Every structure is written in C-alpha cells, then in structure tokens.
Amino acid sequence: MREPHEIPVSELVPQAGAMCLLDKVLSADTETLSAQVTIRANGLFFHDGAVGAWVGMEYMAQAIAAWAGWQARQQAQLPKIGFLLGCRRYVSQRPGYTLGEILHIHVSRQFQADNGLGQFDCRIEVNQTVVATAALTVFEPSDASLFLEEMDHG
C-alpha cells in the first residue's frame, strides 16, 4: 500500500481541476492529516498579489476531505462527497497569503459519529508559525446522491 505522500491529492478528494486546492498530502493516520499548498499566481483565488485569508477555511475543508479519502482507501473504497456544515472560531493572524508562500494545513479529528457527522480542529502554518486556526464541522453521508435527492425534494 502506498504512503499518503505518494498518492496524488486528486485521488483522495472529490474536487477536480482548479477546485482541487491542495498540492500534496504530507502525512496521514487514523486521526490526523497534514497537507501542503504553495501560493501560485495562477491559483484559483489569487488576486491582487495574494490569496485572502478566508480561503484558509477551504484549505482546511479540503484537508479534511483528503483525510476522509485516505481513510476510504484504507478500506479499499473510493473517496465520498462530504459537506462543510460549519466553522467555529476561525482566527487568522493575517489578511492573506502571498505569492510563493508554502502553507502547511493540519487537521485533527475530534469526533466522528456513526451518521457521518464529524468535527476537526484545524490549523495553517507558514514557516512553522501558526497563522490560522478553526474548528470545522463536516458531514459525509453514506450515499451522497440519495442525500442530495432527499434535500432537493425537502
């Protein structure tokens, strides 16, 4: 079995193309995942020389998706679609991330219920300094298509 850092992010998350924001997974285990993003001028959210700090929540959410994808691979399953339900205590020490900066995104599972609801503590580091933190609540239904159909028909 391949190590997490050997697997392309696109094989772990349902996001594709420009919406796949993570560059690579550095490590993963049963409770945590660390990923990396390099800020590039051709990045989807790069504008006026930077990526706004608010995008940090999406980096965190995609790191959680990569963690879930890694867990699925351990069970010989494909990654599933998940949903970001909420964010608590998002604190950023800066307004954004500048060209060439390398971000390390760390997520740590705090709980996960049998119904697919989970919470993760997340942080972003630049040069080994924590620059953003948050607690994200996510939901991974067992059957996303059925869930979305039920939501559509209310």
Q: Give the model's pLDDT for residue 2.
A: 75
pLDDT surpassing 90 at residue 134:
yes
- 59 contacts 103 by C-beta, under 8 angstroms: yes
Cross-strand pairs, 114: none
pLDDT surpassing 90 at residue 146:
no
100-124 average pLDDT score: 96
Beta carbons within 8 Å of 24's beta carbon, 6+ residues apart: 5, 8, 9, 35, 36
pLDDT surpassing 90 at residue 154:
no
The conformational region for residue 153 under phi > 0 = left, psi -120 to 50 = alpha, else beta, is alpha
Cα Rg for the chain, rounded, in angstroms? 15
- The residue among 72 and 154 whose pLDDT is bigger is 72
User: What's the number of domains the chain is made of?
Assistant: 1
Amino acid residing at 137: T
Q: How far apart are CA 25 and CA 12, in angstroms?
A: 9
**Helix (H) / strand (E) containing 68:** helix 56-74
pLDDT grade, residue 117 (50/70/90)? very high
Q: Any idea which of 58-62, 73-77, 97-101, 103-107 has the lowest mean pLDDT?
A: 73-77
Cross-strand pairs, 105: 35, 124
Q: What is the CATH number of the domain that holds 61?
A: 3.10.129.10
Nearest to 114 by CA among 143, 142, 91: 142
Q: Give the model's pLDDT for residue 6.
A: 86
pLDDT surpassing 80 at residue 148:
no
112-125 average pLDDT score: 95
Complete edge-to-edge strand list for the sheet that includes strand 46-47: 46-47, 50-52, 96-98
Q: Give the model's pLDDT for residue 31.
A: 97
- Cα 64 to Cα 2, 102, 135, 136, 141, distances in angstroms: 19, 18, 11, 9, 15
Q: Give the model's pLDDT for residue 49.
A: 95
Name the residue range of residue 105's domain. Answer: 4-152
- What are the tens digits of pLDDT across the range 16-71? 888 899 999 999 999 999 999 999 999 999 999 999 999 999 999 999 999 999 99
